[in-house]
Amino acid sequence: MTLAITPGTTTSVPAVVGADLRVPLVTGERVTYANLDHAASAPCLQEVRDAVDELLPWYASVHRGAGFASQVSTRVYEQARDRVRRFVGAHSSDAVVFTRNTTDSLNLLARSVPKNTAVVLFDSEHHAALLPWRGPNVQRVPAPSSSGAAVVALDRALAAAPVGPRLVIVTGASNVTGELWPVAELAKVARRHGARIALDAAQLAPHRPINARELGVDYIAFSGHKIYAPFGAGVLVGRADWLQQAQPYLVGGGATSKVTDHGDRLGVAWSAVPERHEAGSPNVVGVHALAAACEILSRHWEQTVAHEQELLTRLQNGLRTIPGFRELAILADADKVGVVSFTISGFDAGFLAAALSAEYGIGVRDGAFCAHVIVGRLVKQAGSHEERAVRASVGLGTTAEHVDRLIAALRTLVTEGPKWTYTQRDGRWVPQDDNRTLPPFLA
């Protein structure tokens, strides 16, 4: 097993692919890429790449194949369910349905809830959790100012919800602020009102261990690309009854146990869960990568959390020295994973992101982070007329030098201005006369 020692810290963490990636600057130099955009997509772990390479010679069709390679691929795919189930501490009876990503998983759940289910969620959710729920029985609760206020607000919302099936949607860690939500306390409230609770763990799963039984949640959704397995797989884990009673999310091969011809119509007997919602050829490579990442992270939680917390402290302390810096926050009393979103007075977020990339080789995110409602509100509270912010996020591919470079670069941009000239094109800031060349495989 390959381990990397992060400069500036004594914590050993799993190594990532591309740690030595060098990118061009508009000024003509090349520098090691400073990846401060883990919250969007995390790089691939070296051990995950090794696991994929090990599988590829055996890659074949999954399910119903008589060939030996097909049997191997099927075994890999089905064993991944148990590996993921252990990663989230789910019940042995819980379904594990493989999807494309968190968005796909939550849309599947939304299609599977019983008719007239009352759905309650906070309006600070990521679009993946906010948008799939439609209709008169959906109650969007304004984002609370503290963890305690969240518990009280949910209690009131569920007390007013219609009688019948009920479902609460909650994030584990905010995509915008990195704040950890009081999931266990919210689950207790949900249970008291006879509601189920679904956890959007997309931003939580890479940073903290999850135990569904201890948290008291009924469903968990997360993505491989967030947990260092960027091969196109996601997962929904949870109670099987609603999923079993629902019509298949997609229809086609694999979702059917038998199709018969009745002349003017086809008779269809749908498969049981989980195959019921996994129509088409499964992404066995992506699923294997996701399961491998789950096991790797599970072996390194102590190192991972220590590494990220050290970098988060360094990042926050440095950013607070930048003139005009304002950090976005929802919950006043919450701990955080390694995500900091901010504005800098007088500077457009898109311009800052473009200049950080072009002049310093730093990758950050700018915009509303697929959470337009809450970002628009928080940015206004920070005194900006824009509806966008900058987000810096750390992970296993981040080093102390990356953080220090970001702080120094922002200080220079704010106090001295950019070295280059920038213009807007199609709504985005870009450097003029940008002669940076793309890698050869894109030529």
Q: Which residues are catalytic?
A: 370
Token pair for residue 304?
């991972």
Residue 236's φ and ψ, nearest 5 degrees, are -120, 120
Nearest of 321, 325, 316 to residue 344 by alpha carbon: 325
Cβ atoms of residues 429 and 354 within 8 Å: yes
CA dihedral 340, 345, 350, 353 (to 10 degrees): -50
End-to-end Cα distance, the chain: 35
Cβ atoms of residues 291 and 274 within 8 Å: no
- What amino acid occupies position 419? K
Cβ atoms of residues 224 and 293 within 8 Å: yes
CA–CA gap between residue 187 and residue 190 (Å, rounded): 5
CA–CA gap between residue 394 and residue 351 (Å, rounded): 21
CA–CA gap between residue 82 and residue 291 (Å, rounded): 9
Q: Which residues contact 3 (CB under 8 A, 6 or more apart)?
A: 12, 13, 14, 15
- What amino acid occupies position 282? P
- What amino acid occupies position 88? V
CA–CA gap between residue 274 and residue 77 (Å, rounded): 12
CA–CA gap between residue 135 and residue 120 (Å, rounded): 12
DSSP three-state, residue 205: coil
User: CA–CA distance from 4 to each of 304, 307, 433 (Å)?
Assistant: 12, 11, 38
DSSP three-state, residue 389: strand
Cβ atoms of residues 197 and 215 within 8 Å: no
Token pair for residue 207?
């940073």
Cβ atoms of residues 238 and 218 within 8 Å: yes
The tally of CA atoms less than 13 A away on the side-chain side of residue 408 is: 11
